[in-house]
Amino acid sequence: MDIIPTISNALHEKIVRRNSSEFTNIWNILDVVCDPEIPVLSIWDIGILQDIEFKDGKYQIIITPTYSGCPAVDAIKEDTAAELTKNGITNFEVKTRLSPAWTTDCMTVEGNNKLREYGIAPPVDVPNGCALHVTPTENVLCPHCRSKNTQIISEFGSTACKALFKCDDCFEPFDFFKCI
Protein backbone atom coordinates (compact mmCIF):
# COMPACT_ATOMS: atom_id res chain seq x y z
CA MET A 1 0.00 0.00 0.00
CA ASP A 2 1.26 3.45 -0.81
CA ILE A 3 1.43 5.96 1.97
CA ILE A 4 1.05 9.63 1.25
CA PRO A 5 3.54 11.37 3.48
CA THR A 6 1.56 14.28 4.89
CA ILE A 7 3.62 16.32 7.30
CA SER A 8 2.58 17.46 10.77
CA ASN A 9 3.12 21.01 12.00
CA ALA A 10 5.65 19.81 14.55
CA LEU A 11 7.68 18.10 11.84
CA HIS A 12 7.38 21.04 9.48
CA GLU A 13 8.67 23.44 12.15
CA LYS A 14 11.51 21.09 12.94
CA ILE A 15 12.60 20.90 9.30
CA VAL A 16 12.42 24.71 8.97
CA ARG A 17 14.54 25.03 12.12
CA ARG A 18 17.23 22.83 10.67
CA ASN A 19 17.15 24.33 7.19
CA SER A 20 17.40 27.89 8.48
CA SER A 21 20.14 27.05 10.98
CA GLU A 22 23.66 28.33 10.33
CA PHE A 23 25.17 25.26 11.98
CA THR A 24 24.56 22.82 9.14
CA ASN A 25 27.82 21.00 9.83
CA ILE A 26 26.79 20.19 13.40
CA TRP A 27 23.36 18.91 12.34
CA ASN A 28 25.07 16.73 9.74
CA ILE A 29 27.62 15.34 12.19
CA LEU A 30 24.83 14.35 14.55
CA ASP A 31 22.93 12.48 11.83
CA VAL A 32 24.94 9.37 12.73
CA VAL A 33 23.93 9.40 16.40
CA CYS A 34 21.20 6.80 16.84
CA ASP A 35 18.76 5.73 19.51
CA PRO A 36 20.57 2.88 21.31
CA GLU A 37 17.33 0.90 21.61
CA ILE A 38 16.22 1.38 18.00
CA PRO A 39 19.55 1.64 16.18
CA VAL A 40 17.98 2.33 12.75
CA LEU A 41 16.66 5.70 13.95
CA SER A 42 18.90 8.72 14.26
CA ILE A 43 18.15 11.24 16.99
CA TRP A 44 17.09 13.59 14.20
CA ASP A 45 14.66 11.04 12.74
CA ILE A 46 13.04 10.32 16.07
CA GLY A 47 12.86 13.98 17.11
CA ILE A 48 15.09 13.85 20.16
CA LEU A 49 17.49 16.37 18.63
CA GLN A 50 15.48 19.53 19.01
CA ASP A 51 17.74 22.44 18.16
CA ILE A 52 21.30 23.69 17.94
CA GLU A 53 22.13 27.10 19.35
CA PHE A 54 25.33 29.03 19.94
CA LYS A 55 25.80 30.78 23.27
CA ASP A 56 28.83 32.04 25.21
CA GLY A 57 31.22 30.55 22.70
CA LYS A 58 29.63 27.11 22.86
CA TYR A 59 27.32 25.05 20.71
CA GLN A 60 24.24 24.18 22.71
CA ILE A 61 22.89 20.84 21.56
CA ILE A 62 19.27 20.81 22.70
CA ILE A 63 17.70 17.41 23.13
CA THR A 64 14.28 16.42 24.46
CA PRO A 65 13.39 13.03 25.95
CA THR A 66 10.69 10.89 24.34
CA TYR A 67 9.28 9.45 27.58
CA SER A 68 10.00 10.81 31.08
CA GLY A 69 11.76 7.69 32.20
CA CYS A 70 13.46 6.87 28.91
CA PRO A 71 16.76 5.31 30.00
CA ALA A 72 18.25 5.93 26.55
CA VAL A 73 18.65 9.67 27.18
CA ASP A 74 21.90 9.35 29.12
CA ALA A 75 23.42 7.10 26.47
CA ILE A 76 22.32 9.53 23.75
CA LYS A 77 23.99 12.42 25.56
CA GLU A 78 27.24 10.47 25.76
CA ASP A 79 27.08 9.38 22.12
CA THR A 80 26.37 12.95 21.01
CA ALA A 81 29.36 14.26 22.94
CA ALA A 82 31.60 11.50 21.59
CA GLU A 83 30.58 12.15 17.99
CA LEU A 84 31.25 15.89 18.25
CA THR A 85 34.62 15.31 19.90
CA LYS A 86 35.54 12.81 17.21
CA ASN A 87 34.88 15.51 14.63
CA GLY A 88 37.12 17.97 16.42
CA ILE A 89 34.41 20.03 18.05
CA THR A 90 35.09 20.61 21.72
CA ASN A 91 33.14 23.77 22.58
CA PHE A 92 29.70 22.34 23.19
CA GLU A 93 27.15 21.47 25.85
CA VAL A 94 24.39 18.89 25.54
CA LYS A 95 21.27 20.22 27.22
CA THR A 96 17.86 18.74 27.91
CA ARG A 97 14.82 20.89 27.21
CA LEU A 98 11.28 19.70 27.95
CA SER A 99 9.30 22.29 26.05
CA PRO A 100 7.86 21.88 23.46
CA ALA A 101 7.17 18.32 24.64
CA TRP A 102 8.18 15.56 22.26
CA THR A 103 5.37 13.97 20.26
CA THR A 104 5.31 11.26 17.63
CA ASP A 105 4.64 14.06 15.13
CA CYS A 106 8.32 14.96 15.41
CA MET A 107 9.35 11.74 13.69
CA THR A 108 10.57 12.26 10.13
CA VAL A 109 9.04 10.50 7.12
CA GLU A 110 12.35 8.66 6.66
CA GLY A 111 12.21 7.64 10.32
CA ASN A 112 8.74 6.16 9.89
CA ASN A 113 9.90 4.23 6.83
CA LYS A 114 13.03 2.93 8.54
CA LEU A 115 10.99 1.71 11.49
CA ARG A 116 8.64 -0.22 9.23
CA GLU A 117 11.54 -1.88 7.41
CA TYR A 118 13.07 -2.76 10.77
CA GLY A 119 9.87 -4.65 11.72
CA ILE A 120 8.36 -2.06 14.06
CA ALA A 121 5.02 -0.57 13.03
CA PRO A 122 5.58 3.21 12.83
CA PRO A 123 3.15 5.68 14.42
CA VAL A 124 1.77 6.72 11.02
CA ASP A 125 0.50 3.20 10.26
CA VAL A 126 -2.75 3.58 12.19
CA PRO A 127 -6.27 3.67 10.76
CA ASN A 128 -6.91 7.38 11.28
CA GLY A 129 -3.38 8.76 11.36
CA CYS A 130 -1.64 9.67 14.58
CA ALA A 131 -2.84 13.28 14.70
CA LEU A 132 -5.22 12.40 17.55
CA HIS A 133 -2.28 11.12 19.60
CA VAL A 134 -4.23 8.10 20.72
CA THR A 135 -2.73 4.64 20.51
CA PRO A 136 -5.32 2.36 18.87
CA THR A 137 -6.11 -1.12 20.14
CA GLU A 138 -6.57 -2.67 16.69
CA ASN A 139 -6.05 -2.26 12.94
CA VAL A 140 -2.45 -1.06 13.09
CA LEU A 141 -0.84 -2.04 9.81
CA CYS A 142 1.27 -5.21 10.29
CA PRO A 143 4.91 -4.39 9.38
CA HIS A 144 5.43 -7.96 8.12
CA CYS A 145 2.45 -8.61 5.81
CA ARG A 146 0.66 -5.22 5.74
CA SER A 147 -2.59 -6.67 7.03
CA LYS A 148 -4.90 -4.45 9.07
CA ASN A 149 -6.29 -7.45 10.86
CA THR A 150 -4.28 -6.85 14.02
CA GLN A 151 -4.91 -6.30 17.71
CA ILE A 152 -3.13 -5.10 20.82
CA ILE A 153 -1.65 -7.69 23.19
CA SER A 154 -0.20 -5.30 25.72
CA GLU A 155 -0.21 -1.53 26.15
CA PHE A 156 3.54 -1.70 26.69
CA GLY A 157 6.19 -3.46 24.64
CA SER A 158 9.91 -3.87 25.19
CA THR A 159 10.40 -0.14 25.81
CA ALA A 160 8.22 2.73 27.03
CA CYS A 161 7.72 4.01 23.48
CA LYS A 162 6.21 0.80 22.13
CA ALA A 163 3.06 -1.31 22.51
CA LEU A 164 2.80 -4.99 21.65
CA PHE A 165 0.49 -6.14 18.85
CA LYS A 166 -0.23 -9.36 17.01
CA CYS A 167 -1.28 -9.95 13.44
CA ASP A 168 -4.28 -12.24 12.91
CA ASP A 169 -3.29 -12.92 9.29
CA CYS A 170 0.41 -13.81 9.45
CA PHE A 171 0.22 -14.58 13.19
CA GLU A 172 3.42 -12.69 13.92
CA PRO A 173 3.65 -10.48 17.00
CA PHE A 174 5.13 -7.03 16.45
CA ASP A 175 6.04 -3.84 18.26
CA PHE A 176 4.11 -0.68 17.47
CA PHE A 177 5.72 2.71 18.10
CA LYS A 178 2.94 4.41 20.10
CA CYS A 179 1.28 7.67 19.09
CA ILE A 180 1.61 10.34 21.76
Partner 1 sequence: MSTNMAKSNQYDNEDTVKQKTLQYAARLGDDSLILGHRLSEWTSNGPFLEEDIAMGNVALDYVGRARMFYTYAAELAGNGKTEDDFAYLRDERQFQNYLLLELPRGDFAFTIVRQLFVDVYNDYFLTELKNSNDPEIAAIATKSHKETRYHLRRTRDWTLRLGIGTDESKAKMTKALNDIWGYTHELFEPDALEIELIELGVAVDPRLFKEKWLHDVQTIIHEAELEMPDADWAVRGGRNGFHTEHLSMLLTVMQSVHRAHPGASW
The binding site for partner 1 (CB under 8 A) comprises 65, 67-71, 98-99, 101-103, 133, 135, 153-160, 164, 178, 180
Closest to Zn ion by CB, 145 or 152: 145
Residue 173: helix, strand or coil by DSSP?
strand
Phi-psi region of 113 (alpha: psi -120 to 50; beta: other; left: phi over 0): alpha
Rounded to 5 degrees, φ, ψ at 51 are -165, 165
Q: Residues 138, 125: contact at Cβ < 8 Å?
A: no
CA distances from residue 155 to 78, 89, 114, 137, 159 in whole angstroms, order as listed: 30, 42, 22, 8, 11
CA distances from residue 149 to 52, 129, 139 in whole angstroms, order as listed: 42, 16, 6
Closest to partner 1 by CB, 109 or 180: 180
User: Which partner from the list Zn ion, partner 1, none does 68 bind, CB cut-off 5 to 8 Å by kind?
Assistant: partner 1
Interface with Zn ion (CB under 5 A), residue from 34, 41, 72, 167? 167
Closest to partner 1 by CB, 143 or 157: 157
Interface with Zn ion (CB under 5 A), residue from 18, 95, 144, 166? 144
Closest to Zn ion by CB, 119 or 129: 119
For position 145 contacting Zn ion by CB under 5 A, the verdict is yes
d(CA 135, CA 162): 10
For position 121 contacting Zn ion by CB under 5 A, the verdict is no
Closest to partner 1 by CB, 29 or 62: 62
Nearest to 92 by CA among 3, 27, 166: 27
CB of 148 to partner 1, least distance (A): 21
Longest dimension (CA), the chain: 58
User: Which partner from the list partner 1, Zn ion, none does 167 bind, CB cut-off 5 to 8 Å by kind?
Assistant: Zn ion
**Interface positions with Zn ion (CB under 5 A):** 142, 144-145, 147, 167, 169-170
